[in-house]
Amino acid sequence: MSSLAVQPIDQIAIAEHLSGVRGRNRAAGTPQIAASDDRSAVHAWLARYADSPATLASYRKESERLLLWCLLQRRVALSDLTHEDLLMYRHFLGDPQPHERWVMAPGQKPQRSSPRWRPFAGPLSVASQRQAMSILNAMFSWLVEAGYLAGNPLALSRRPRRTAAPRVTRFLPMEHWDAVKATIEAMPTATVRQAAQAARTRWLFSLLYIGALRASEISTTRMSGFFQRRSGGGGPVRWWLEVTGKGDKIRLVPVTAEWLAELMRYRRAMSWSPLPREDDDTPLLTSLIGPVKPMARSAIHEIVKGVMRETAARLRAQGEEFEATAAHIEQASTHWLRHTAGSHLSEKADLKIVRDNLGHANLTTTSIYLHTEDDARHEATQQAHRVGWRSP
């Protein structure tokens, strides 16, 4: 098997002695899962995340890399791995060799069915190695808990001591956020194409900041998610966005007057009606070429990274004193904007409002009491949370 080209794990015929059927680390007794081999056991673990596409993709990638390394490089079953094996694997993540076997060609992203597919785009940074091993540690712990493995070979790994609760550091302070906004506001609009790109980018950042939406939520939510509801006691009509987030949990996000204006601005730029109908199946964010379809998470990430790179380049052109700011902004990703939104809002509003807006707890909207509570949250968000785009 060592002479085989690397393929997705589900396409490989695994010899019995490498399958884990008789792995040295298999638990005695009756397991709580039906899997009898390592690949099936990993599939059972991954199945728990079927309702969280982004998490599933990340966990599948790391478990597949380890399984392929076991079969094609180390020549042992996953349920034969020792602590020392996994120390070797972490070193491998930082320098996957032979390069031509494990790493995709620069600039390529072939489909999994392509013979050019490889499990790595390049060596993993120290932070990415740490993340990969953390995911695998969770996998091994679950397999032990499920009665499939006798022990977790990563349980002996050294862990950093924490003396305080972790803090969110991957966010943009207000002055950095202002620099990013300035880049978007300065996007060219001379041609129809440029105007559409500028409008879409501004709308995307409004979704990410005002709504604190995840990229996966933007990809799956439709315009029909926007709806009006009159406040209790005959109060004003308020706009909301219903979002289905991680774990299929539904939450209502307050649509402030500013956000509603941005919605109308974007829809006019796309030559649609100013406000969506109840049956509007249009995606929140669409491609500009071809039929109307939702933008993929990867495309959303690329737009965000492009704005961050452009902002960093503009700041560097202003002088060396902006290098630290430019370097920080250049690191920012789509999820940073969700952290940025939460951090900025938490400085001005109650943490319960931040929790509910970001979907960190279940929401129930069936009782009058909770409707009243929602109205108070809407008003607080309306008063405290703005992007502040400069018109037109």
Do 139 and 287 belong to one domain? no
How does pLDDT run across 151-198, given as a tens digit for each residue?
999 987 655 444 444 455 688 988 999 999 999 999 999 999 999 999
Asked if residue 31 is part of any domain, the answer here is yes
Q: Which two tokens stand for residue 69?
A: 């390394």
Residue, of 118 and 349, whose pLDDT is higher: 118
* pLDDT over 60 (residue 373): no
Residues 130 and 192 grouped into a single domain: no
Does residue 136 share a domain with residue 257?
A: no
Given this model, what pLDDT does residue 2 score?
43
Structural domain includes residue 360 = yes
Tell me, yes or no, whether 162 lies in a domain. no
pLDDT confidence of residue 330:
93
Residue 222 and residue 289 in one domain: yes
Whether residues 380 and 328 share a domain: the answer is yes
- Asked if 130 and 178 sit in the same domain, the reply is no
Q: Using an 8 Å Cβ cutoff, are 1 and 68 in contact?
A: no
Q: Are residues 244 and 122 in the same domain?
A: no
Q: pLDDT value at position 197? A: 95
In this structure, is residue 196 part of a structural domain? Answer: yes
Same domain, 106 and 224: no
Predicted confidence at residue 165, as pLDDT, reads 42
Domain end marker among 145, 160, 190: 145
99-103, 104-108, 142-146, 355-359: lowest mean pLDDT where?
355-359
Asked if 76 and 85 touch (Cβ cutoff 8 Å), the reply is: yes
**Pair 235, 380 in one domain:** yes
Q: How far apart are CA 123 and CA 96, in angstroms?
A: 6
pLDDT the model gives residue 329:
94
Question: What confidence tier does 372 reach under pLDDT thresholds 50, 70, 90?
Answer: very low
Give strand ranges (E) for the chain: 226-230, 237-244, 250-255
Evaluate if residue 299 carries a pLDDT over 70. Answer: yes
- Identify the band that residue 361 occupies on the pLDDT scale cut at 50, 70 and 90: low
83 and 181 within one domain: no
pTM: 0.57
Average pLDDT over residues 225-254: 87
Mean residue pLDDT across the chain: 87
Q: Return the closest-CA partner of residue 265 out of 308, 180, 206.
A: 206
367 part of a folded domain: yes
Boundaries of domain holding 242: 174-384
Q: Is 39 helix (H, G, I), strand (E, B) or coil?
A: helix
Taking residue 30's Cβ as centre, other Cβ atoms within 10 Å add up to: 6
Which tens digit of pLDDT belongs to each residue from 32-54? 999 999 999 999 999 988 887 88
Write the pLDDT tens digit of every residue in 241-262.
999 988 788 889 999 999 999 9
Residue 326 is assigned to a structural domain of this protein: yes
Chain centre to alpha carbon of residue 98:
30
How wide is the angle at C-alpha 198 spanned by C-alphas 197 and 199, nearest 5°?
90
Residue carrying the six token digits 């490889």: 118
Q: Are residues 210 and 94 in the same domain?
A: no
The label of the residue with tokens 């406040």 reads: 231
189 contacts 29 by C-beta, under 8 angstroms: no
How large a percentage of the chain has pLDDT more than 90?
Answer: 63
Residue 391 within any structural domain of the chain = no
Q: Find out whether 223 and 280 touch, Cβ atoms under 8 Å.
A: yes
Total tally of structural domains belonging to the chain:
2
CATH code at 201? Answer: 1.10.443.10
Q: Residue 266's pLDDT is what?
A: 96
264 and 367 assigned to the same domain: yes
In a domain, 185, yes or no: yes
CA 231 vs. chain centroid, Å, equals 33
**What is the Cα–Cα distance from 109 to 287, expressed in whole angstroms?**
20
pLDDT, tens only, 55-110: 888 899 999 999 999 999 999 999 999 999 999 999 999 999 999 999 998 877 88
Rounded Cα distance, 390 and 126, in Å: 40
Both structure tokens of 310: 């452009």
Element (H, E) at 325: helix 323-331
